[in-house]
Every structure is written in structure tokens, then in C-alpha cells.
Amino acid sequence: MQVKDIEIPENKVLIDLDINEITLDNGKIVTDPIGSFASSFVITAQVLLAEKEYIRKLTGIFKKAGVEIDGIIPVTLAERNLILDKNELFDNVMLLDIGAENTDIGVFEGNVFKYTNTITLGGNNITHDIAVVLGIEESEAEKLKRQYGLALKSFIDNDNEIMLNTCADESRKKVIKSSELIEIMEARIEEIFSIINKDITNQGLKSKINNVILTGQGITNINKSDVAGKIVLNIPVKISTGRAVVIVKPEYRTSYALIRYIASRPFTKSVSSKIDTNSKENLWKKVISRVKEFFYS
């Protein structure tokens, strides 16, 4: 078995091999080689890398807890087949999973997984901003976010009065306009999208993205969040309408997607994708090992 050499940065480590297609010696292209006959084949695959120092810290944390990491899967890669609809699966899209604590970015060119990153901002930051600015408890801030969730102040129909019940002052009660609340949410949502915009621009990916798909409980329950994203990113943005939206509750979608992704891999029954940060080991020995797993496990 031969593999073309590529240069891997010293600060990176192999975490997975994502096989796109396999071309048999008769020219037939397959995604699952099981049951096929061939004397030779060509595999088109992506080598997924991660920051070596991040992986070292992550494995160290789990080791102290008595847990061994057997493999690492980018969340957006696992979610792709469930979050995107049939047309989006073949498009150049950016999948944004905005959760409570983090925002996961995944950029795809058709079947090719181009880029992933995680930003440590999410829905809880919006809640915290409301609590701090208005001087109320987080529980009330979360309730107000859900009740009046709107990403853009310009879309307010009625600027209603809101009675705050957990203010820190002596009266414990205060009246504000709904526009004041929404202005707080708008500022943080704009910041999240601005950081995403800067990231994909710096990576040289923005011009290649045709559509952005939003998912995650951190933002999809806030009305007009897709419009806010479009304004900042200057790319069409829509809330996910993929299969997972219908069949899986929001709080379980990430776990469900990860399990489905692992179960779909040919080597699931004997997973051996150990994370090794030893730079002295030949990278391609690892790659060839993964390919063998694909066929023989």
C-alpha cells in the first residue's frame, strides 16, 4: 500500500481519516468497499488534524479522571448528515452549531470537510449579559430571553413594558422596555457572528461558502437570528431543516449525531483510533493503519 507524502505541521496531530470515496481498479467508485472485488484501489480521503498541545491537555484531563480517549470527532462532521437537508449536502455550506457554552463551526465543500473551529461563546453568554446589564438573577434573565427572544431591535412590533422581579436594589422590582432587553441580546449575537466572520475570512474560506445553516439551542430559539447572521456574514443564513430537526429533540442532537457517525464507520466494532502525540512516529504508519481498519475490522 502506498500513500502520497504530505507535510504535516509539527504542532499538529492526526485524529482521524475521513474517507470520501474509493476507486476500484475497474474504475468503479464506491463509498463502501465491503463486498467488492479488486486487485488494487485508490482511496480519496481527508487527513483530519488537531492542535497537538490541545490534544495533549485534553487527554491529560481525561486521564486524571480515569478515562482514556479512544478517538476525537469534530462535532460538525458528525452532525452534517442529520442537520443538512439533501440539497445542502452537495452545496458549499457552513454549519454553525451554537450551543450554551460554545459555537462549533464546520465548513464543507460538497462532501469535503474543509475546516472546523470552536468559539467559546454561546447562548449562556447572552443570558449572562442580560443578568449583568439589568442587575437581575440568571434564572430570570434566561426566562426573559426565552419569552422575548429577538435578535434585532428593528423587528420589534410593540415596545412593551417588562417588570423585573429580581433586581439587586432595595425595591427588587424595576420596569424596562422590551427594546432595552432586545438591544442586549442583539449586541452579543452580533459579536458571535462577527467573530465567526473574522475566522472564516482569515482562513480564506468566506468566498467559497454559499449558505450558512444554523442549529443549536443557544440561538435557534431566538427569532430573527438567521437575519442577524446574514447581516453580519453577508451570506444567506437559514435555520436547519434537516432530518434531526424532526426526529431528535434539540438537547439530544449532538449526542445522537456522534453515535450515528461512529456506528457508520466500518471499523466501529474494533475502534482503535488512539490519539498519539509522539512526533517521532511516522504519520503514514498511522494513516495506513486506519485504512486497514476500514477494510478488515
Mean pLDDT across the stretch 154-166? 91
For the record, the C-alpha cell of 261 comes out as: 457517525
Whether residues 62 and 24 fall in one domain: yes
Whether residues 67 and 85 fall in one domain: no
Average pLDDT across the chain, whole number? 84
Q: In the chain, what percentage of residues exceed pLDDT 90?
A: 41
Structure confidence by residue, pLDDT tens digits, 140-153: 999 999 999 999 99
95 CB-near residues (< 8 Å, 6+ apart)? 76, 79, 80, 83, 84, 104, 105, 106, 107, 108, 212, 213, 215
- Higher-pLDDT residue of 30 and 154 is 154
Whether residues 64 and 135 fall in one domain: no
Tell me: pLDDT of 116 over 80.
Answer: yes
The answer to whether residues 100 and 123 touch, using CB atoms and an 8 Å cutoff, is yes
The one-character DSSP state at 154 is G
Whether residues 209 and 87 fall in one domain: yes
Mean pLDDT across the stretch 186-198? 97
- Higher-pLDDT residue of 206 and 173 is 206
What is the predicted pLDDT for the residue at 1? 42
Residue 92: exposed, middle, or buried by beta-carbon count in 10 A (0-12, 13-18, 19+)?
A: middle
Whether residues 20 and 83 fall in one domain: no
pTM of model > 0.85? no
What is the predicted pLDDT for the residue at 5? 61
Most confident region among 158-167, 185-194, 254-263 by mean pLDDT? 185-194
SS3 203: coil
What is the predicted pLDDT for the residue at 288? 53
Band (271; pLDDT cuts 50, 70, 90): very low
What is the predicted pLDDT for the residue at 282? 53
Whether residues 98 and 204 fall in one domain: yes
What is the predicted pLDDT for the residue at 87? 86
Whether residues 204 and 152 fall in one domain: yes
CATH number of the domain that 242 lies in? 3.30.420.40
* Number of structural domains found in the chain: 2
Whether residues 18 and 156 fall in one domain: no
Whether residues 37 and 145 fall in one domain: no
Whether residues 38 and 54 fall in one domain: yes
Structure confidence by residue, pLDDT tens digits, 31-71: 777 777 888 888 877 778 888 898 889 889 988 888 888 88
Band (25; pLDDT cuts 50, 70, 90): confident
Domain interval for residue 123: 73-265
Whether residues 154 and 63 fall in one domain: no
Band (173; pLDDT cuts 50, 70, 90): confident
Tell me: pLDDT of 119 over 80.
Answer: yes
Whether residues 121 and 238 fall in one domain: yes
Tell me: pLDDT of 97 over 80.
Answer: yes
Structure confidence by residue, pLDDT tens digits, 193-241: 999 999 999 999 999 999 999 998 888 889 999 999 999 999 999 999 8
Handedness of CA 204, 209, 215, 220 (dihedral sign): positive
d(CA 153, CA 155): 5
